[in-house]
Amino acid sequence: MAEEHDTPVENEETAPKKKSKLLIFIAALLFLAGGGGGFYAVYSGMILGDDSHATEAVNHTDKDTHSDADSSGAPAMAEIAFVSVDPLVVSLIHGAARQHLRFRAELEVPLQYQSDVETLLPRVTDVLNSYLRALELNDLSDPAALVRLRAQMLRRIKVVVGDNRVNDLLIMEFVLN
């Protein structure tokens, strides 16, 4: 009888241990899910998004451009020009698969720098070609890839041409076939 009496006591002692392990597991799982959700929110720009372009457009109070600006605070169309970048076709190799990326873009530049940017267009084409050739097929599979690639290409173009000489990179064609 003493042996039977010891067995239920052991089961009662192991039951709280199982509950505490389950609680620790659930807490760890919730912690990881919350961390992953927080990372995604910050990474995708839902929280702490980069609104520097919007802030600059709203806070731009230069008297020369303010009179020509429309109600949104953006510069008037007469002050900007668009410079076409030569179309690029880049081979992307992933294992045995071979695909091509067709890329065509326009550069939004201030009117006073249009001729300077057109002069440096071969360098712009070179830096874009070099960057796009370094990409892998996996880099393009992410839904946010185009935004990230556009920012990287614009940064490289600004290094080549000058920071204040290019306002934006407009991607006209980005086709993977």
**Beta bridge partners of residue 46, listed in sequence order:** none
| pTM recorded for the entire structure | 0.56
Residue 49 has a pLDDT of 59
What one-character DSSP code corresponds to residue 95? Answer: T
Residue 121 CA to residue 138 CA, distance in Å, equals: 29
Residue 31 CA to residue 171 CA, distance in Å, equals: 39
**Average pLDDT value for the chain:** 79
145 burial via Cβ count (<10 Å: 0-12, 13-18, 19+)? middle
Is the model's pLDDT at 28 over the cut of 60? yes
Q: Where are the alpha helices (DSSP H) in 2-94?
A: 2-44, 52-59, 63-66
Q: Where are the alpha helices (DSSP H) in 45-134?
A: 52-59, 63-66, 114-119, 121-134
With b for 16 or more beta-carbon neighbours within 10 A and e for fewer, the 71-86 pattern comes to: eeeebeeeeebebebe
Coil, helix or strand for 93?
Answer: strand
Coil, helix or strand for 130?
Answer: helix
Higher pLDDT, 68 or 155: 155
Residue 74 has a pLDDT of 56
Residue 50 has a pLDDT of 53
Residue 16 has a pLDDT of 66
Residue 72 CA to residue 3 CA, distance in Å, equals: 84
Question: Is the separation of the CB atoms in 92 and 137 below 8 Å?
Answer: yes
Residue 46 has a pLDDT of 74
59-116 residue pLDDT tens: 444 444 444 445 555 556 778 999 999 999 998 877 677 888 899 999 999 999 999 9
